[in-house]
């Protein structure tokens, strides 16, 4: 497989991952907050927890095109620290 094919495959994988991560977040956090707001009236305006999905949608193409891998970055930060 050539370099261009690998890059396209990687882009598709990251887009699918960001889509399903956003979907999971919306289902678990967003709808959970809506259900909780119905049961607990003091929880108002909980849709604010859904705003990170917009950040994922905006940042995903930028990170993909720049070649930045957030998982690798965080693991390097975590394991390179000295005690």
Q: What residues contact 21, with CB distance under 8 A and at least 6 apart? A: 56
What's residue 36's pLDDT?
Answer: 60
Q: pLDDT means per 10 residues in the chain (83 residues)?
A: 76 84 77 61 68 84 85 86 59
Burial 54-64 (b: 16+ CB within 10 A, else e): eeeeeebeeeb
What's residue 43's pLDDT?
Answer: 61
What's residue 83's pLDDT?
Answer: 47
Q: Coil, strand or helix: which one is 27? A: helix
């Amino acid at each position: 497989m050539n370099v261009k094919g690998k890059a396209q495959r990687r882009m598709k994988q990251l887009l699918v991952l960001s889509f399903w991560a956003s979907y999971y977040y919306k289902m678990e956090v967003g709808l959970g907050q809506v259900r909780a707001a119905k049961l607990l009236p003091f929880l108002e305006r909980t849709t604010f927890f859904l705003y990170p999905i917009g950040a994922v949608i905006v940042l995903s193409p930028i990170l993909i095109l720049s070649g930045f891998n957030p998982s690798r970055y965080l693991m390097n930060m975590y394991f390179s620290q000295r005690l």
